[in-house]
A and B are shown apart, each in its own frame.
Chain A
Amino acid sequence: MDRVQALLNCLYKEAELLDEGRYREWLTLLAEDVRYRVPVRVTKERGPEGGVSGVMGGMYHLDEDYTSLEMRVARLETGFAWAEDPPSRLRHFVTNVRIGEPRPTPKGEETEVRSNLLIFRSRWDRPDHTFLSAERRDVWRQEEGGWRLAGRTVILDSATLPTHNLAFFF
């Protein structure tokens, strides 16, 4: 199977695991040195460099490593994680996938993968729902046993989040 198709499969498989709440399996997709970040986004004027702005360094909504992601998963398994128990109905829509060129690194061959993400979240029996829209800037690494997510930066399209917590994964 070619590299592009293999990486697309990774993204879709990951979305399936997250939508189905199979978080232990999701953890197996992560590299041990994964860095998983969702920076705070603010409204800024268009800078001289052009393009979008407002991605803040220093403060994040999530700034995780493997241990802290594992902790969040373990918490969901305690039976007392009310924010996601009962679980939300989540749907990760992954589109506009852009796959970079392979790049050898001391830890294995890595590829930058950018994708657009729309998360639908519905809780309880209420008719309302929330959407979160973002771009994901990933680094996927070929390791023994398959591709692993080695880095993810989630560029949110909201400055003020329209949902009451981020008790799920992007």
Chain B
Amino acid sequence: MARVKGGVSSRLGRMLEELQEGIEDGLVPAWIFNDPELFELEKEKIFSRSWVYLAHESEIPNPGDYVLRYVLNNPYIVVRGEDGVVRALLDMCRHRGMRVCRAELGNASHFRCPFHGWTYRNDGRLIGVPAEREAFGPGFNKAEWGLCPIPRLEVFDGMIFGNLDPEAPGLEEWLGEIRWYLELVTKRSPAGLEVLGPPQRWVVHTDWKLALETFLSDSYHTLMTHRSLIELGIAPKDAKYAMYGEQIHIPGKGHGSMVVGAPPGAKLPPFWGYPEEMLERARTSYPTREQFETARETRILLVTLFPNFSFHNPIRKPDHKYQGTVPMLTFRVWHPLGPGRIEIFSWALVEKDAPEWFKEKTRHSYLRFFGSSGTFEQDDTEIWSHVAHNAATAQGRELRLNYRMGLELEPDPNWPGPGVAYGLNFTDANMRNFHRRYLEMLLS
């Protein structure tokens, strides 16, 4: 790996060298979870050059539908034009820089700036300038003054991503082999996914990497952090249940997945407990036989895309007295607000062609276990905030944290999917892979 190069202060350079030297031995310095100078570098080197999740196409199904979303602090109107094309337009008037979109979501044929009245079509074209001839003269060309689109926009199976870097590699190349795991969810039904309403949004005093880690590689935390749900009989009785699965990472990309089946002796239905009709549809909608077979044996699935998108698709009971189980699916953006501070955007999704009773049950499973009030997630956010606090303390920030789990593991040669797979999910392999990619981007 390349040594620390220019572009960073000597202080930060020394710190990054420490991370670089430690990572292969499974040592990660605590300061990476709360450092102002590092956060500035992450903004420039990671978030200004990465594919960042903006929205799901089902949030804006009709012409004129829009949602307001962010890459760092840049506001984008993610809007479907009258031509059906999805765009992400910087919410900034070309005249004096005012916001032209005044709501988080809605339907609009045009956006009008409340400052001087410049008006844009929902495809970004400038179509109205008050007193145009008197104010700007006959040579004024409106075609040159449309809303700025995000430099790159691409859609994968309904998932809309944006990228601030016009030179960035395409989304397909960016995703690479993680696509196989994404498709376990996006291709489960030929109808695709839909959101169950707008995202919940809330602020947590933690670092985006710490939140992401939980969904990328940390199955080990479930036995203690989520012990209350094991006690209640919501999570499987075997506290090590999340260990019985495969952990897979995509070298060079930073992405990872955890694919968990049923713990030995546990009676959990196959295919997350989806209704039989959906299992039948899945049989033909998956691109490959291997994906269908893998999906059929899966009870908990997590996929995390570098840098800050995760989804979580576990089997759940809607409450502790419900007979049977219902799967739920949540999409996440760990939106960085500052050092040690994030905003979580959390959506619930379901297959468009799922039965109505199932959609209602899966909505309840989501609300009661994940999201802002979720009984799993509320303990995660409690813990993440303390770690980030400690990571900014004078003595604590110097600690090297133990990322050595699974250092001795050998890859599983029998895993049918792509990437480097381990047959034991108690490993930090995905996180070590993430940090390699993270360092590579910070230093390039």
The minimal Cβ–Cβ distance linking A4 to chain B, given in whole angstroms, is: 32
Contacts of B234 in A (CB 8 A): 71
CA gap between A27 and B204 in the complex, in Å: 29
Indicate if A5 sits at the interface (CB-CB under 8 A).
Answer: no
Q: Does A68 contact B (CB under 8 A)?
A: yes
> In the complex the two chains form, what is the Cα distance from A84 to B234 in whole Å?
19
Interface membership of B390, Cβ < 8 A:
no
Does A68 lie within 8 Å of B319, measured CB to CB? yes
Residues of A within 8 A of B383 (CB): 82
Contact A164 B103 (CB under 8 A): no
**Per-residue CB proximity of A50-65 to B under 8 Å, as 1/0?**
0000101111111110
User: Which residues in A have their C-beta under 8 angstroms from that of B229?
Assistant: 75
When A57-B197, A61-B200 are in contact, do A165 and B372 touch as well, CB less than 8 Å?
yes
- Contact partner of B203 among A58, A72, A81, A161, CB < 8 A? A161
Q: How large is the interface on A (under 10, 10 to 19, 20 to 34, 35 or more residues)?
A: 35 or more
Q: Which residues of B contact A83 (CB under 8 A)?
A: 378-379, 381-382
Contact in complex: B228, A81 (CB < 8 Å): yes
Inter-chain CA distance A11–B232, complex, in Å, is 30
Nearest residue (CB) in A for B386 is A124
CB–CB B378/A165 < 8 A: yes
Question: What residue in chain B is nearest A76 (Cβ atoms)?
Answer: B228
Contact A43 to B103, CB < 8 A, known contacts A71-B320, A164-B382: yes
How far does the alpha carbon of A68 sit from the alpha carbon of B368 in the complex, in Å?
A: 8
**Chain B hits for A38, CB < 8 A:** 373
Chain B residue nearest in CB terms to A165: B378
| Residues in A whose Cβ lies below 8 Å from that of B320 | 67, 71, 74
Contact B321 A164 (CB under 8 A): no
Contact with A along B180-212 (1 / 0, CB 8 A): 000000000000000011111111110000000
CB neighbors of A among B296-325 (8 A): 318-322
Give Cα distance in the complex from A88 to B326, angstroms. 32
Name the contact of B382 in the complex, choosing from A62, A68, A159, A165 (C-beta under 8 A).
A165
A105 at the interface (CB under 8 A from B): no
Query: Please, which residues of chain B bring their CB within 8 A of the CB of A164?
Result: 202-205, 381-382, 385
Chain B positions within 8 Å of A42 at CB level: 103-105, 198
CB proximity of B163 to chain A, nearest CB, Å:
24
The 9 nearest A-B residue pairs measured at CB: A59-B197, A58-B197, A165-B378, A161-B202, A83-B378, A166-B373, A80-B227, A80-B228, A160-B201
CB within 8 Å of B: which residues of A? Answer: 38, 40, 42-45, 54, 56-64, 67-68, 71-72, 74-75, 78-84, 159-167
